[in-house]
Each structure stands twice: as structure tokens, then as C-alpha cells.
Structure 1
Amino acid sequence: MAPRPRWYHQLQASKTEATLAVDLYNRSGTERQLEAFIVHMTMAWLKLLQAKIERDGEDLYIRNQRGQRQRSADGDWIHKPLAMLLADEFSDNDPRRVNLEFFVGLRNRIEHRYERDIAALVAGRTQAFLLNYEHTLVENFGVEQSLSENLRFPLFLSSITDDAAEALKVLRKRVPKGVLEWVQDFDASLEPSLNDDQRFDFRIYLVPHTGPKTEADAAMTFVRMDDLTDDQRGKLDEVQTIIREKQVPVSSLGTLRPAEVVGRVQGQIPWVFSMAHHTAAWRFFRVRPRSDAENKEQTKSDFCRWNSTWRQYEYTEAWVAYLVRKLTSERTYKEVMGVTQNSDAEDTSEDVKGQAAQLEAPA
């Protein structure tokens, strides 16, 4: 029997790294699980892309202008780093690439005594990190290389019981300010559609199944949105609406009208901040769509939400804090306000009309 090609062994090493990453993350306790997961999943991705490139006969090495391979100080050939392989394999806005870049950046900011809190903050992205790897693995090497038979759904409590959900809210408050601000800045740099993509941040609604059981039933079944009929999607939207109304009722969110945002920011930065400046800011940071957009709900929900009842956008305290933090810098202020000249009156006046509509609405 002919020996296996080198790329095959690199692929198996990649799968070993991914399996180890999951084992370390799912173990009981709180000892540096997130960092271990990130380190080994990053290695898994590196080896996976190297295996693909080598299998396809493409170049793995850093070369000089004459096309010659370069050696490190130790004399080894210098391979392309993960960032370069990602750029070659995925487009800039591919959610898989953005998710991986998020964790590469996060790893350098983890403070170990707060690691458990940080893990709770990025749980959905952690799940997406693994799912993206599995998808790319099967896409390039076939279902026979899948990890699905080796990895099982763990027994867990986090985010399932009401008490656990409340505990996660407390944990979030303990995350170091520097980490929270870095995550906030990373998210603010993304288009809302990318931020909401399951391949970047995997979020699910768990609805217990209490109907009759069949032999084909699994304890937990993942249903893809693309596989649902229009009627089933409609029912799911109803469930999501019920959950949203239960967890984040608009009347109790403490959301702010644009003028309230302007007033709070103006009092905390050394520069002029008017309604036109606010319009420039939400455009620059892509917090909400333009006034003529069809999908008005496509916002960065940490900062802004569409109130379908009053047909207006409402802003959060987090948006005020973000603006103050960013616009205190004169350089950032000038960069953001550079788009003020392009802010059409329609969007600015829309904010004003929205305030009037809310003030005239019955209590």
C-alpha cells in the first residue's frame, strides 16, 4: 500500500488539535479553558489550511522578490502565517475569517482571573469557531473526515435555567473594561449583517420537545433556517418575538431619543455635538440603516433598535458611552464628523420627527 501523502498527516494533526480544543473547553472547572480552546483551535485552523494548500499543489512558503524561499534565524523554511492563509482562502467579509480574527485578537487580551467571565461573554462565537472549522473541513475533505462522530453535545447548565441566565448577566459585569471595550470596538467595525451571521456568533433558541418520541429522535436536533418552509419560519418568528418581548420589552429598556443622546454626549465631550453630528456618527459606525432601507431592523442592537410600534429608532446607554469614549479624541471626532457634509436632511429630520411622534403618543 502506497504511503499517505504529507498533507493527509497534516490534516489528521489538525483534527487532533480541534478535538483537544473541545476536550479542554468542556472539562469541568474554570482553569484556563477559553485560552486553551483558542490556542488549539487556532492551530487546528492553521494545519487545516496548510493541508488544503499542500493537497492542491499551492505554495506554503514566504518567498523573496526572486521567488526564493526564505529561512528563519534557525535555518527552517518560513511558512505563510495564519493571517496570510486566511486572506488567500476567504474574502474580507467572510464570517468564518472574521470569527477567527476575533479570537486571535481576543487571546492577547485575556486576563486569566477573569477568563470564566470572558468565556460567558463570547460563548456564541466560541461555538461558531468550532462549527466553522467542521464546515470547512467537510467542504474541502469530505464527510468521512468529519469530527461529528468524535464530539458529543455536552451536559450543561449555562444559559438554560433562569438562574444560570441571571448569573451570566452578573458575569458580564465583571469582565475587565479593556476587554469589553475591545469587543465593542471589534463589533462596531462590522456590518450589522455580518455581526448577526451565525457563522460569526452562533445563537439559538431552545424549545423543549414534549411530543411523542420515535426511534429516530435525538435528544437535541439542530434545524437550519434554510431547511424550513415559509410556514415554519413564520412560526419561528412568532417564538422569537415572544422571547424578545419577554426578555427585552421596549418600555423597560431605558432607550433614548436622539435628542437625549445628543444632550448626554454634548455634556461629556469638548466638541460641538448636534443632531447632524449624531446622524454622522450613526452613519460612520454603521449603527443603523439609512432611512430608505427596506430592512429597518438591521441595526447593531447593542446601540440602536427599531421600534416598530412608533416607527422610529431608539438608542441605548451603551451608544452614549461608546460615543463619549470615541469622540473625546479630537482625531476620531474629526474623522467621524467628516461625513457630516454628506448627511442628508432627511435622516436628520427623521430623528426629530421620531421624537415628536413619541412625545405625542399616549402613555
Structure 2
Amino acid sequence: MAYPRWHHILMESQRHALKAVDEWNCSSGNYCDFLTHMHKAWHYLLHAEFHKDKIDYHFRDPKTGQYILIDNEPKAWDLEWCLKQRYPDSGDIVRLNAELFVALRNKVEHRYEHNLKIATGGKAQALVMNYEHEMVAFFGSKYSLADRLRFPISLQALTAEGRAQLQKAAKKLPKKTRDVVAKFEAAIDPAVLDDLKYDYRVRLVPIVGSKTDADLAINFVKLDELTEEERKTMVEAGRQGTVIIKDRHVEVADKAKLRAKQVAALVEEQVPFEFSAYSEHLEMWQRLKVRPAKDSADPYATDARYCIYSEAFNSYLYTPAWVKKVVKEIGTVEKYRAFFDKEPRMKKNITQFPKQAGAPAAEGDAHPQSKSA
């Protein structure tokens, strides 16, 4: 049977995708090779789509309209240009994820490959899953790679000692390498950074009890297929960072979380006016519906990107993403006026640093049972 050219391009794309995953999962795999193969996988995938849709994906001279030639062959669109044509919206999450790895491919220092692999694991998972979704959505489920990919067996990540080693390794990245990701993400909305299409993070919950014939080693749970009680349990585990090992729960909910006064202090460091936890911050979380009121019957009904309810402290805690969100919403005098419909209280001394954060939660941040203000 003679296959069309797009089919052969797609098969080459799949070959690179499988090779990339093999490099990632192999204990002696090379992170640079993973980046290279996923780059080619995405590149060939989009070329296959363009070819099937009869879209000319070669560069032309804007003055003459003639093809730009390399070794007497028309120069094909590079991956960055392909992504811009396939996803015209510069804020598209799939495009942003792929563009990050284009940037990383050009900047990786070989001696820090292992550390960078750890630090970008969720984003790499999203890159592969986005690739699979794009391919199946365009060419159909018969081209899926799901039956050829396996969940890797891991020792480190499934133990407390292993998690500590992974965190330590990630911290060893040099500033220059960390800045590649930091600068890329600086202009991206926090909601995008938390999206699974950009950074796919999972929580592993060991399965206990009797096994059925339908059970696989890895089972993916869809929240909309759970009962209300099951869904609440899973959502709270995801929000609070609960690691479940058989019947024992290890709570890591409050790591890197902030009280209202800490949020106010961090915001005030970045704006030219005063920002109070008791007025501006209170009004912002109310209007943006980040968390329920203090007398809510369901204190857990928060926007988990920005706020969680902590049972341990019987109060609400906020995420660093919330600080970014606040600064983005009201970070200039003009934005402040537009949001609050009043003039900001300008700092009397711009060089004066705000008071150290860490005081008790501000009024309005405690749960109704809490006795604190």
C-alpha cells in the first residue's frame, strides 16, 4: 500500500518521540538527547499536518516570492515558526510549553543536565502529552502512541529520602541555567503556569486492597467520574499536597504559603504605594473570588492557584502566584485607581523597606472558628 507523504513524515515524528521518551526514562539517558528528539518530533508532526492540509511550509523571499534555498532545497519552516502558525495566539499554553523547550535546547549546559531534568520534569511530561493530544486530535486515535509508552519504574521519587535528593539536585542548578526558565516565565500569567498543559504534575497514591482483572499498575482518575465525596477527597489532596502512603498521611500543605500580612509586604516591595492587608488585600480577594468569606460553610472552596484553607492554622494561606496576580492587577498608580476607584497612599519614603513579614494573619483571613483577628 502506498502511503501519502504526510504519513511518512508523521512516522518519522513518532520515531523521534519514542526515542525521546526512551532517553528520559533510561537511567543513563541524556537530557540533551531528549530535548533534541522531542524538538524533532514536534517539528515533523507540524510539518505532517501542514502537508496533509496542503499548506506550503517553506520560506519564501519577501521581495521576490521565490523559495529560499539551502543546498538547492527549499528551506522548511523551523519549529518556532511552525508553532506560531499552528498556535497564532502567543499566550496559547501548548505553544508556550513547546517554546520553553526550544529555549532550553539552545541553553543546556551538559554538566547540569541531570539537575535540569529534575527541575523541568512536569513541563517535560506536559510536552509529551501535548504532542500525543495534538497528533490524535489531527490524525485520529489509530496514530496514538499510548500502547507503546509505559510508566517508568522509579526508586527515588517514591520515598521521602528520594524526594529530598531530587529537591537537593534541583537547587544545584546555576543561576544562569535557572534564569532561562525564570525569564521565560516572568511574563506568563500565573494561571498558565499552573495549567497541566504547561506543567503536568501528578500525585502518586499507592493502590491497596484486592486487585481486579481490570486493574493496571497505573490508573488515571477523572474527577468528573467520581462521587461527590471521592471528588472532594481527591481535590483536597491535590490542593494541600497530601502524600498518601497506604493509611498514613504526610501533610505538606503549608510549604511556601503566605499569610495575608506577608502577601501585603511582598506586594508593597514591588509597588510605589502602600498596600494594606486590612483594606486593599481584603477587597482584592473578595472581588476576585479567591476564597470564601470567613463565615462560609465550606472554607475549602478556594481558588487553589492562589489560596488554600489550612486546618492546622485554622486560617487561609496564599501562594506566591497570588502575589504576582495582585501586582499584575494593581501594580501601577493607574491600575490601582482603576481597580479601587480611589487614589493610592504613596510611600512617604520610597527607599524605606516594609516591615518584615511573618506577623499573625490579618483580619478576614481566619476561619470563623479562629479566635485570631
Q: Is the 8 A contact 2:290 2:303 kept in 1?
A: yes
Distance in structure 1 (CA, Å) of the matches to 2:344 and 2:273: 13
Question: Which residue of structure 2 aligns with residue 21 of structure 1?
Answer: 20
Question: Which residue of structure 2 aligns with residue 172 of structure 1?
Answer: 170
RMSD: 4.1
Counterpart selection for 2:287 from 286, 292, 299: 292
Question: Which residue of structure 2 aligns with residue 119 of structure 1?
Answer: 117
Question: Residues 236-251 of structure 1 correspond to what in structure 2 (within 5 A)?
Answer: 236-240=234-238, 241=240, 243=242, 246-250=250-254
Bigger mean CA offset, 141-150 vs 339-348: 339-348
SS for the counterpart of 1:214 is: coil
Counterpart selection for 1:145 from 143, 157, 160: 143
Letter in 2 for 1:15: Q
Q: Is the 8 A contact 2:32 2:105 kept in 1?
A: yes
Question: Residues 253-268 of structure 1 correspond to what in structure 2 (within 5 A)?
Answer: 253=256, 255=258, 257-258=260-261, 262=265
Distance in structure 1 (CA, Å) of the matches to 2:263 and 2:108: 35
Q: Structure 1 residue 230: deviation in Å?
A: 4.0
2:362 corresponds to 1:355: yes
Question: Which residue of structure 1 aligns with residue 6 of structure 2?
Answer: 7
Unaligned runs of 5+ in 2: 244-248, 292-301, 346-356
For residues 237-285 of structure 1, what are the alpha-carbon distances to aligned partners after superposition, in whole Å with 9 as ceiling and x for unaligned? Answer: 24334718944343x757365468648975xx9x956438xx99x9xxx
Q: Structure 1 residue 155: deviation in Å?
A: 1.2
Letter in 2 for 1:60: Y
Distance in structure 2 (CA, Å) of the matches to 1:343 and 1:298: 20
Unaligned runs of 5+ in 1: 283-288, 328-334
For residues 284-311 of structure 1, what are the alpha-carbon distances to aligned partners after superposition, in whole Å with 9 as ceiling and x for unaligned? Answer: xxxxx764122445476xxx64556776
Report the structure, 1 or 2, having the larger helix content: 1
Q: Is the 8 A contact 1:261 1:315 kept in 2?
A: no
Distance in structure 2 (CA, Å) of the matches to 1:225 and 1:313: 25
Distance in structure 2 (CA, Å) of the matches to 1:27 and 1:146: 22
Distance in structure 2 (CA, Å) of the matches to 1:172 and 1:357: 37
Q: Is the 8 A contact 2:13 2:45 kept in 1?
A: yes
Q: Structure 1 residue 45: deviation in Å?
A: 0.5
For residues 35-80 of structure 1, what are the alpha-carbon distances to aligned partners after superposition, in whole Å with 9 as ceiling and x for unaligned? Answer: 1111110100010110111011112122244783422353321222
Taking structure 1 as reference, are residues 353 and 169 closer, same or farther at Cα in structure 2, changes over 3 Å only? closer
Distance in structure 2 (CA, Å) of the matches to 1:83 and 1:229: 43
For residues 165-197 of structure 1, what are the alpha-carbon distances to aligned partners after superposition, in whole Å with 9 as ceiling and x for unaligned? Answer: 111121122111223233233334222332222
Question: Which residue of structure 1 aligns with residue 58 of structure 2?
Answer: 61
Q: Structure 1 residue 223: deviation in Å?
A: 2.2
Distance in structure 1 (CA, Å) of the matches to 2:151 and 2:68: 44
Q: Is the 8 A contact 1:34 1:115 kept in 2?
A: yes
Distance in structure 1 (CA, Å) of the matches to 2:213 and 2:221: 18
Runs of 4+ in 1 over 6 A off after TM superposition: 308-311, 345-349, 351-354
Question: Which residue of structure 2 aligns with residue 198 of structure 1?
Answer: 196
Q: Is the 8 A contact 2:125 2:200 kept in 1?
A: yes
For residues 97-153 of structure 1, what are the alpha-carbon distances to aligned partners after superposition, in whole Å with 9 as ceiling and x for unaligned? Answer: 111011111222322212111111111111111111111111111222111222222
Identity across the alignment (%): 28
Question: Which residue of structure 1 aligns with residue 221 of structure 2?
Answer: 223
SS for the counterpart of 1:149 is: helix
Q: Is the 8 A contact 1:7 1:52 kept in 2?
A: yes
Letter in 2 for 1:89: R
Distance in structure 1 (CA, Å) of the matches to 2:220 and 2:343: 41
Taking structure 1 as reference, are residues 264 and 207 closer, same or farther at Cα in structure 2, changes over 3 Å only? closer
Distance in structure 1 (CA, Å) of the matches to 2:147 and 2:15: 13
Distance in structure 2 (CA, Å) of the matches to 1:228 and 1:104: 38
Distance in structure 2 (CA, Å) of the matches to 1:169 and 1:261: 28
Question: Which residue of structure 1 aligns with residue 296 of structure 2?
Answer: none
Q: Is the 8 A contact 1:38 1:107 kept in 2?
A: yes
Distance in structure 2 (CA, Å) of the matches to 1:198 and 1:307: 22
Letter in 2 for 1:224: K
Distance in structure 2 (CA, Å) of the matches to 1:193 and 1:272: 25
Taking structure 1 as reference, are residues 239 and 257 closer, same or farther at Cα in structure 2, changes over 3 Å only? closer
Question: Residues 7-86 of structure 1 correspond to what in structure 2 (within 5 A)?
Answer: 7-29=6-28, 33-65=30-62, 68-72=65-69, 74-86=71-83
